[in-house]
């Protein structure tokens, strides 16, 4: 089974979008729970929870896109698909878990260089 470079990048982008959609759902669910708790306790600003969750998600999504462009795209283009297809699922998840923090380090390094100039 062979995939062109365009297909590999497209599948990688779809996985980024699906991951971000899951993150948005998780954040909105937590915002609703917090809103409910604040309403029950009659404290805080319960109606601000969902807009804040959406604003924070927008920031997370921007950084995940930067991380995907800086780490995800090169990995998708450099790793051979034929070997990864044969990997056990746990090994694929472990690779993804390793690449996430690597992307974060790259983003922090880029931002720290921009900050010092």
Give 50-104 pLDDT, tens digit per residue. Answer: 999 999 999 999 989 988 998 889 988 988 888 888 899 899 889 888 888 888 8
pLDDT-derived band at 111 (thresholds 50, 70, 90) equals: confident
pLDDT of residue 29: 97
38 close to 44: Cβ distance less than 8 angstroms: yes
pTM for the predicted model, two decimal places: 0.78
Count of the separate structural domains present in the chain = 1
pLDDT of residue 31: 97
What secondary structure does DSSP assign to 63-99, as a single string?
A: HHHHHIIIIIHHHHHHS-HHHHHTS-HHHHHHHHHHH
Q: Which of 28-37, 41-50, 74-83 has the lowest mean pLDDT?
A: 74-83
> Is a pLDDT exceeding 90 seen at residue 34?
yes
Range of the domain at 64: 5-116
Q: Cα 82 from chain centroid?
A: 25
């Amino acid at each position: 089974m062979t995939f062109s470079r365009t297909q590999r990048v497209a599948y990688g982008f779809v996985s980024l979008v699906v991951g971000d959609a899951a993150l948005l759902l998780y954040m909105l669910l937590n915002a609703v729970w917090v809103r409910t708790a604040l309403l029950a306790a009659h404290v805080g600003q319960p109606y601000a929870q969902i807009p804040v969750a959406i604003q924070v998600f927008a920031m997370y999504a921007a950084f995940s896109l930067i991380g995907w462009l800086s780490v995800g795209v090169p990995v998708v283009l450099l790793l051979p698909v034929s070997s990864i297809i044969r990997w056990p699922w746990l090994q694929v998840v472990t690779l993804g878990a390793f690449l996430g923090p690597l992307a974060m380090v790259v983003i922090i390094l880029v931002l720290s260089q921009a900050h010092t100039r």
